[in-house]
Structure formats: structure tokens, C-alpha cells
Amino acid sequence: MRAKTFGYGILLVLCVPFVFPTWWMVTSSLKPNADIFGRDLWAHHASFAAWHDVFTMQPFARQYFNSAYIAVVVTLGTLVVASMAGYAFARIRFRGQNALFLVVLTGLLIPSEVTIVPLFRIFNSLGLIDTHWPLILVPIFGAPSVLATFIMRQFFITLPVELEEAARMDGLSRAAIFRRIALPLARPALGAVAIFTFLTSWNLYLEPIVYLSSKSMFTLPQALTQFTDPYQGQLWNVQLSAASMTAIPVLIVFVIAQRQFIEGLAHTGLKG
Amino acid sequence: MTKAIRRQDRLTAYAFIAPQLAGTVAFVLVPLVLVFWYSLHEWNVLANTFTFTGADNYRQLADDPNVPKVLLATLFFSAGLVVVNLSLALLLAVLLNQKLRGTTVFRVLFFSPVVVSLVAWTIVWRFMLQDNGGINSFLDAAGIDGPNWLRSGGTAMAAVIVVQVLKNVGLNMVLFLAALQGVPQELYEAARTDGASPWTVFRRITLPLISTTILLTSIITVVGSLQVFAQIAVLTEGGPGTSTTVLVYYLYQQAFQFHAFGYGATLSVLLFLIVLALTAVQWQLRKRWVFHES
């Protein structure tokens, strides 16, 4: 009994630095700027003025849309590219298979920070700076999707061959077997890949600040740091309002589907 | 299988891997070769001149007084991050592995920062770590005069590490929890009947049996730590001085703030070599430590 109380006590104390920041972010965003540096755990004079300011100081709705549509497109694109490549590497025998797989795996080895300078020059010469193309094309086809391909390959290897052989007897082509039999069975792996791909895109910071320069093109992480007064002073409550709006929707989805999130993210090796 | 079907299979395979293969070549391998090429050049974006400068950038790298400081900061950051992250992850996993009711709730709470937008998380911490921010006002209530966390040399690095650990420790915690649950119960019972203390059990049974997970997570964490950028850009901008300027942040400053793209490419080469060395070490360790990866 005493051991139990002790266990709960430690867990509760350890929880504080994990949970308190989110609480503090939301309550502080509702405090007027005069009260913002205090110890109040509750916003006593709650006001949504700062939440409103978020939209008048920057094209925040537009930036929100940018982040959301980029993350959705990148997630769908990655699912297509990675499930096809993962399936072919796992299930079909072809000449050069191992060598080509090694070529693809270099994407896992080389962090995207290493190649950001040449990629910037390439996209600059293509006239694609200050467009969303680099944030969409590189994750779908480049290094970030290689991890997804690797995970899909590992999954398809474990699928029993018998199912596919039966379909083969019925005269289905390889592409049809992939689409009608393998892909529906791969739902758990696709879910895990979708979760980490979406979050990675949603969190991207270095790439947007390198490639984008006009406010209407910004993504959320980049926009969050721009709420300052004309003297570069921080407008804390506005920043925290924007941060809350960025974090809360994902947190809600996480609470609903926590098991899928935790299993998916931990076993697909999100970095850090 | 007939020849025709095999041939059709092969064509399907090439078509299936083509997008990923083309993307890897265009966005990973070609840029990697270009990094080395650019490191021998100077590129002026405004004048649009691209001139061969030979080993100039490498000479600059050798003479740059900031480089040793940056490498030292990177080492401190990575080492600190790995030690704090793994110890905390292990502690949380052991606590959650006790037979207590409601551990699922705690698992969700410890994991929740992983899904909070990275910059949002960092902004809240920057706010709380201000001189007059939340943490110091609570310390003040306890009669402690807290430092200006992000502006003093002694605390800025520690603050960056702690903020990063709290953000992502949930991932390693879950991996450790899975490893702990894989330890056969009979071993614990046998040890207990032999009268071993909990600490001895942990050291002699648990730790050796989860050592592969410890190795694996430490490698992932070290490589991940070399890529940390947003947290430093938002919390300290590499300061005070250069005390939290890690290699990726320095690379960004040189290439994209000072527009020294050639020198930025040289720093990228350095980053690449460090990652390559770490990967080589990882392969050696895996070979020696028979891995049971699933």
C-alpha cells in the first residue's frame, strides 16, 4: 500500500513538466498582456482578444491552410510512393534489387540538413524559391519518404505469401494483387506511416525558413515566431494563442487515437 | 511461373520503385555530390557569380575560431541529451512497468509533448524561461532567485537540453517499456527466491536483458541530436555568445544569414563526415552485440 502511494506520488510529480507547459500555454494566451507574467494558474480575466489578434497581425488563416494542405499532400504522396516501393522491394524479385535498395537506403543515412545548401541552389535555379514545391517534392520523393519505404518493406515481408499465390491462380496481375490484397492488409503500417509523415511535415522548420520569404506563403512553425511588436518585442499572449491553435487540434486527435499514435511513432523511429 | 508472368512482374517492380529511386537520386545523391563540389566554390546569390576557390573554404574552416567552440557545443549538447534522455526514459519506463492501475493515463501524459507542435512547445518554454517568466516566479514564491535561464552561459545549454528531452523522451520511454515487458517473469521470480535486492535484480537481470534496446535508442538519439535546429533557433539563437551554437545552427547562420554558401557547404561536408563516422560505429557495435531486432 505504501509502495503504491509512493509510486503514484513520483508519477504525479514527474508529470508536471510534461503537462504543465500545455496548460500554461492555453491559460496564458487568455490573459491580458498586463497579467501575463504572474503565477496565476487560471486566467481570471479571460479574454480571446489575443486569439483575435493572431488573425489581424498575420494572414494566419492562410498560413494555417498552407501547413495543413502541405502536410496532407505530403502524407498522401508518401503513402503512395513508399507503399509501392516497399512492396516491390519486399515481394518481387528483379535484377539489381539489392543494389537499388542500397541506393534508396542512402536516404536514411544522410540527414536533410547536409543537403540543404545544394537543394536551395537547385530550387533557386528552377525559380521555385518562395513556393511550396520544395516542401512538397523533397519529403515525398527524397530522404524523408525513404524511412516510410523501409517500414512498408518490413511490413510486406511479414505478410503470408499464400494469399498472393491464390490470387495469382485466379489470374490477377502483380499490380492488382498489390492494390486489392496487399494494400488493404497493410492498414496498420500505412496508419503509422501517415501519422509520422503528417507530424514531420507539420513540424518542419528549417526548410520553410530557408525557402519561404513572404508571409502569405509561411507555414505555421515559421509564423509562430513572427508575432512581435514594431520594436521586435515579443507579444507573448498573441504568440501563445497562435501556438495553442497549432497544438490543440493535434492533441485532440492524439487523445482519441492514442494507442495508434504511440505505437506508430515509437516503432517507426521519429528522431530526437 | 511462366516467363511472361515473370517478365511482367519485373516491369511492375521497376515501375513501383521508380518514383522513390528517382527522388533519392535527385534529392539525396546529387545534392550530396554537389555539397562537395560547392565546398570548393564561392557562390554570390545577388551578383549570381559562382567561382572556383579551391581549398579556400577548408582553410577558412581550419582557421575559424568559432569552429572548435561549435564542435564542443555540439558534443555537449549531444552527450547531455543522450544521458538525460535515456536515464529519464528508463526511469519512466520502470515506473510505468509497475503493477499500478492507471499507468495508461500516465503513458499518454508523458507521451503528449511528442505530438505538440515543436515550435509551439519551444515557444511556451521560451516564455516560461524568461527572467520574469513562469519558472522564476514560482521559484520566487519559494524564496529562490532564479537565473535568466536563456541568457546566462551556465544555464542556456542545460535549458535547451531539458526542453528537448521533455519533448521527445516519450518515444524512448515506450521503446524501453516494450523491452522491459519482454524480460521473462521467471527470471525475476528466481532472483527473488534467491533473496536478491530490487537494485541487484535491476542491475544483474533487467539492464543486461535490455542492453540492445539501450544501444539502439542511444544511436537514434545521438543522430537525432545532430539535427536539432528549431529548438535552438527559437530558444537561444545560438547564444549567449556561441554557447549553444551547434553545428547545424552554425551551418544555417553561415549559409542563409551571412550568405556564405560555399562555407556553408564546407560545414555540411563536416556534418556529413560526423554522421558517417557515427554510422560506422553503429554498424560495428551491432555486429558485436548480436541484435534481436524485429
Sign of CA dihedral A209, B275, B23, A68: negative
Within an 8 Å CB–CB cutoff, is residue A84 touching chain B? Answer: yes
- Decide if A48 is inside a domain: no
Do B175 and B257 lie in a common domain? yes
Nearest C-alpha of chain B: how many angstroms from A269? 8
- Decide if A83 is inside a domain: yes
pLDDT at A72 over 50: yes
CB contact under 8 A, B20 and A85: yes
Within an 8 Å CB–CB cutoff, is residue B28 touching chain A? Answer: yes
- Decide if B294 is inside a domain: no
Whether residue B53 contacts residue B42, with contact meaning beta carbons closer than 8 Å, is answered with yes
- Decide if B293 is inside a domain: no
- Distances in Å between the Cα of A48 and the Cα atoms of A23, A41, A148 are 16, 17, 40
Angle, nearest 10°, between helix axes B118-128 and A236-256?
A: 130
Within an 8 Å CB–CB cutoff, is residue A108 touching chain B? Answer: no
- Decide if A142 is inside a domain: yes
How big is the A-B interface in CB pairs under 8 Å? 301
- Residue B132 corresponds to which amino acid? N
Do B80 and B136 lie in a common domain? yes
Mean of pLDDT values over A120-146:
95
Mean of pLDDT values over A206-231:
92
Omega of the bond leading into A17 within 30 degrees of 0 (cis): no
**Among the partner residues A11, A146, A239, nearest to B24 by beta-carbon distance:** A146
- Decide if B130 is inside a domain: yes
**Among the partner residues B35, B166, B175, nearest to A17 by beta-carbon distance:** B166
Q: What is the pLDDT of residues B174-227, one digit of tens each?
A: 999 989 988 888 888 888 888 888 888 888 888 888 988 888 888 889 989 999
CB contact under 8 A, B167 and A110: no
Q: Which helix (H) or strand (E) holds B43?
A: strand B41-44
Distance, in Å, from the CA atom of B130 to the CA atom of A3, rounded to the nearest integer, reads 38
Do B16 and B35 lie in a common domain? yes
Q: Could you write out the DSSP letters of every residue in A14-71?
A: HHHHHHHHHHHHHHHHTS-GGGSSS--SS-TT---HHHHHHHHHS-HHHHHHHHHHHH
Do B80 and B200 lie in a common domain? yes
Sign of CA dihedral B262, B264, B266, B268: negative
Three-state DSSP class for A234?
strand
End-to-end CA distance of chain A: 37
Do B37 and B64 lie in a common domain? no
Name which of B21, B18, B15, B19 is nearest A174 in CA terms. B15
Nearest C-alpha of chain A: how many angstroms from B261? 7
- Decide if A41 is inside a domain: no
Q: Could you write out the DSSP letters of every residue in B63-101?
A: H-THHHHHHHHHHHHHHHHHHHHHHHHHHHHHHHTSS-T
Q: Which of A211-215, A221-225, B62-66, B134-138 is predicted least confidently?
A: B134-138
CATH code (residue B100): 1.10.3720.10
CB contact under 8 A, A243 and B255: no
Do B136 and B241 lie in a common domain? yes
Considering only residues 30 to 59 of chain B, which have any Cβ-Cβ distance to chain A shorter than 8 Å? 30-32, 34-35, 38, 43, 45
For testing the chain A interface, which of B7, B17, B85, B98 should be mutated: the one with the most A CBs within 10 Å?
Answer: B17
CB contact under 8 A, B133 and A140: no
Do B110 and B16 lie in a common domain? no
Mean of pLDDT values over A202-211:
95
Count of structural domains within chain A:
1
- Distances in Å between the Cα of B7 and the Cα atoms of A84, A93, A121, A195, A222 are 18, 10, 41, 36, 49
CB contact under 8 A, A271 and B223: yes
* Other Cβ atoms closer than 10 A to A48: 11
Could you say which residues of chain B have pLDDT below 70? 1, 289-294
Do B46 and B159 lie in a common domain? no
- Residue B179 corresponds to which amino acid? A
- Decide if A262 is inside a domain: yes
For testing the chain B interface, which of A14, A27, A115 should be mutated: the one with the most B CBs within 10 Å?
Answer: A115
Q: What is the pLDDT of residues B65-93, one digit of tens each?
A: 999 999 999 999 999 999 999 999 999 99
Q: Which three cell numbers stand for residue A183?
A: 494494400
Whether residue B33 contacts residue B117, with contact meaning beta carbons closer than 8 Å, is answered with no
The residues facing A269 across adjacent strands are none
Choose one of B34, B52, B70: the last residue of a domain. B52
Nearest C-alpha of chain A: how many angstroms from B231? 10
Provide the mean pLDDT of chain A.
90
Distance, in Å, from the CA atom of B96 to the CA atom of A147, rounded to the nearest integer, reads 29
- Decide if B82 is inside a domain: yes
Nearest C-alpha of chain A: how many angstroms from B40? 13
- Residue B130 corresponds to which amino acid? Q
Tell me which residue range forms the domain holding A111: 60-268
The pLDDT-based confidence of A270 (bands split at 50, 70, 90) is very low
Whether residue A196 contacts residue A265, with contact meaning beta carbons closer than 8 Å, is answered with yes
Contacts of A182 (CB under 8 A, 6+ apart): A87, A91, A156, A159, A164
Mean of pLDDT values over A207-226:
95
Contacts of A205 (CB under 8 A, 6+ apart): A221, A222, B118, B119, B229, B230, B233
What is the model's pLDDT at position B208?
87
CB contact under 8 A, A236 and B24: no
- Distances in Å between the Cα of A219 and the Cα atoms of A2, A135, A211, A212, B68 are 50, 10, 11, 9, 34
Nearest C-alpha of chain B: how many angstroms from A21? 6
- Decide if A54 is inside a domain: no
What is the model's pLDDT at position A259?
87
- Distances in Å between the Cα of B267 and the Cα atoms of B34, B60, B167, B249, B260 are 13, 10, 27, 10, 11
Alpha helices in chain B (DSSP H): 3-24, 30-38, 56-63, 66-96, 103-115, 118-128, 134-141, 153-181, 185-193, 198-201, 207-209, 211-225, 230-235, 247-252, 261-288
Whether residue B113 contacts residue B167, with contact meaning beta carbons closer than 8 Å, is answered with yes
Tell me which residue range forms the domain holding B223: 60-288
Distance, in Å, from the CA atom of B144 to the CA atom of B69, rounded to the nearest integer, reads 32
- Residue A156 corresponds to which amino acid? F
Mark B239-274 as b/e (b = at least 16 C-beta within 10 Å). ebebbbbbbbbbbbbbbbeeebbbbbbbbbbbbbeb
What is the model's pLDDT at position B164?
96
Q: What is the ipTM of this complex?
A: 0.91
What is the model's pLDDT at position A269?
53
Within an 8 Å CB–CB cutoff, is residue B223 touching chain A? Answer: yes
Within an 8 Å CB–CB cutoff, is residue B121 touching chain A? Answer: yes
Mean of pLDDT values over A100-126:
93
Within an 8 Å CB–CB cutoff, is residue A109 touching chain B? Answer: yes
- Decide if A25 is inside a domain: no
What is the model's pLDDT at position A268?
67
What is the model's pLDDT at position B1?
60
Considering only residues 200 to 219 of chain A, which have any Cβ-Cβ distance to chain B shorter than 8 Å? 202-203, 205-206, 209-210
- Residue A21 corresponds to which amino acid? P
Closest chain A residue by Cα to residue B35: A118
The pLDDT-based confidence of A2 (bands split at 50, 70, 90) is confident
Name which of B164, B218, B208, B200 is nearest B182 in CA terms. B208
Do B189 and B233 lie in a common domain? yes
| Phi, psi for residue A31 in degrees, rounded to 5 | -85, 145
- Residue A79 corresponds to which amino acid? L
Q: What is the pLDDT of residues A150-192, one digit of tens each?
A: 999 999 998 888 888 888 888 888 999 999 999 999 998 999 9
Do B41 and B70 lie in a common domain? no
CB contact under 8 A, B268 and A114: yes
Do B24 and B153 lie in a common domain? no
Contacts of B207 (CB under 8 A, 6+ apart): B214
CATH code (residue A260): 1.10.3720.10
Residues in chain B with CB shorter than 8 Å from the CB of A173 are 8, 12
- Decide if B210 is inside a domain: yes
Whether residue B29 contacts residue A108, with contact meaning beta carbons closer than 8 Å, is answered with no
Q: Could you write out the DSSP letters of every residue in A99-111?
A: HHHHHHHHHHHS-
End-to-end CA distance of chain B: 31
What is the model's pLDDT at position A272?
38
- Decide if A49 is inside a domain: no
CB contact under 8 A, B21 and A106: no
Contacts of A255 (CB under 8 A, 6+ apart): B108
Do B197 and B271 lie in a common domain? yes
CB contact under 8 A, A115 and B255: no
What is the model's pLDDT at position A178?
93
Count of structural domains within chain B:
2
For testing the chain A interface, which of B33, B108, B115, B270 should be mutated: the one with the most A CBs within 10 Å?
Answer: B115
* Other Cβ atoms closer than 10 A to B197: 10
Q: Which three cell numbers stand for residue B142?
A: 519559494
What is the model's pLDDT at position A140?
97
